[in-house]
A = this chain, B = another copy of it.
Amino acid sequence: MPEEPTQALRFGKARTARSAALLEDYVELIADLLAAHGEARAIDVAKRLGVTHPTAIKSIARLKREGLATARPYRGIFLTEAGRKLADRVRARHRLVVKLLLAVGVPAEAAEADAEGMEHHASEATLKAFARFLARAK
C-alpha cells in the first residue's frame, strides 16, 4: 500500500514544472512583444507580468544565463534560437489548453486565467489527448 516512490516522482515533477513556469512566462511574453512592437523592453515585460522592473530585470538575467535570451545594456531584449523555440512550444500549449477548457464549458474569462497556471503542468501525453479530444468533439 505504500505508493511512495510514484507519488514522490509526481510531486517532484510538479515542483520542476513550477520552477520552469516563470521562465516560460517570460519567454512567451517577450516573443509576444517582439512580434507586436518589434522590440521588447524590460519595463513593458514588468508591466505585463505585474511585477516591478527590478524583478523583471533579474529574471531576464536568469533567461540570459540559461541561454534563452540576449540583451545588451540599455538595448532591448531578444530571444536566442532556443528561446524562440521555447516560446513557440509554450504558445501552442497555451492555446491548446485554453481551447480544451472552452470545449468542456469553462467560461472564457476563467479559461484564460486558469490556463495561465495549468499549461505549465500539461505533459506531452495530456496535450496529445487534448488535441484528439478537440478533433473528435468538433
Inter-chain contact B11/A116, CB cutoff 8 Å: yes
User: Quick one: which of A30-75 are within 8 Å of B by CB?
Assistant: 36, 47-50
* Complex CA distance for A71 and B49, rounded to whole angstroms: 38
Interface size class of A (residues with CB under 8 A): 35 or more
Which residues does chain B contribute within 8 Å of A9, judged by CB atoms? 50, 113
Q: Mark A117-128, 1 if CB is under 8 A from B, else 0.
A: 110111101100
A95 within 8 A of B: no
Which residues does chain B contribute within 8 Å of A25, judged by CB atoms? 11, 14
Among B106, B107, B109, B123, contact of A110 (Cβ-Cβ < 8 Å): B123
User: Which residue in chain B gives the minimum CB-CB distance to A25?
Assistant: B11
Which residues does chain B contribute within 8 Å of A129, judged by CB atoms? 101, 104-107, 110
Query: Chain B's nearest CB lies how many Å from the CB of A58?
Result: 15
